[in-house]
Amino acid sequence: MAVLTPKERFVIRYYLHAKKAAKTSGIPVVFALAQSALESGWGKSIKGNMMFGIKKGSGKNYGGWSQGQTQLITTTEYSSLPTRHFPFIYPGYPIQTSSGKWKYKVKDVFRAYPSPFYSFVDWAGLLFKNARYKYALEHKKNPYRFAKEVAKAGYATDPNYAVKIKRLMKEIQQIIVLKKLNKKKMLFAPIIIMVVGAIVVAVAVLKSNPK
């Protein structure tokens, strides 16, 4: 039996959560998984079922955060000010970088979820509630065009964001096809047929050989 790679394990583990959330939101599954892979390092930094690194923020529920669970997580922040407030700032910070910005190592309040599914729903709701993604949402049936428009709308400050996210989407799509994740339900039909067939044969044998 072939050993799964970390990327394959990530996709196999979270594919159904993303697909289930997509039934409500329509956000392309491959984009949702790619964004989560980018945010979490392919699942290396997922705590409290938080797939997208969403902070508590205003505390508004976008559809999957109804219980309002939170968690303190260590993160790095950059600011033009050396006087930013965080729940906890590590000793020795902030440090001024060569660009003039201040680097903080802090603990901040992030959202936590009962399961990964609710994280996917909350993140999708966040996209829907933000007017800047209105045009992107018109292309939900075209994952790569959707990714392009989300990037153009300013989802991330990284100028190479569109290239990165599309590369991840291609990797994830290949894994989905290779592992036949989008066809798993079809596997139940032949299994049921085999079981029913076996029962019919067994009954026939018993009838032909009464005690």
143-189 pLDDT per residue, tens: 999 999 999 999 987 889 999 999 999 999 999 999 999 885 544 43
Structure token pair of residue 128: 């829907």
Checking if the pLDDT of 6 tops 90, the result is yes
Task: Say what the pLDDT of residue 184 is.
Answer: 59
Is the separation of the CB atoms in 84 and 94 below 8 Å? yes
Assess whether 77 carries a catalytic annotation.
Answer: yes
Q: In the numeric block, which tokens belong to residue 71?
A: 């968690």
* Residue bearing tokens 């790569």: 144
What is the token pair recorded at 78?
Answer: 């950059």
**How high is the pLDDT of residue 173?**
97
Q: Please identify which residue in the block is written with the tokens 């209105």.
A: 134
CA atoms within 13 A on the CB side of 194: 5
pLDDT score at 206: 40
The answer to whether 138 is a known catalytic residue is no
At the top level of CATH, which class does the domain 6-52+116-208 belong to?
mainly alpha
Question: Is 0.75 topped by the overall pTM?
Answer: yes
pLDDT at position 54 over 50: yes
39: tokens are: 């945010």
Quick one: pLDDT band at residue 51, thresholds 50, 70, 90? very high
Whether 194 has a pLDDT exceeding 60, the answer reads no
Nearest CA to 126 among 63, 68, 71, 169?
63
The confidence score (pLDDT) of residue 157 equals 79
Q: Is the pLDDT assigned to residue 7 strictly greater than 60?
A: yes
pLDDT bracket for residue 200 (50, 70, 90) = very low
pLDDT digits (tens, 9 = 90+) for 70-129: 999 999 999 999 999 999 999 999 999 999 999 999 999 999 999 999 999 999 999 999
Domain ranges of the chain: 6-52+116-208
For the cut 80, the answer to whether the pLDDT of residue 195 exceeds it is no
Choosing from 8, 39, 77, 171, the catalytic residue is: 77
Q: Quick one: tokens of 202?
A: 């067994």
Selecting among 8, 108, 122, 158, the annotated active-site residue is 122
In contact, 47 and 71? CB cutoff 8 Å: yes
How far apart, in whole angstroms, are the C-alpha atoms of residue 196 and residue 100?
A: 71
Q: Is residue 209 scored above 70 in pLDDT? A: no
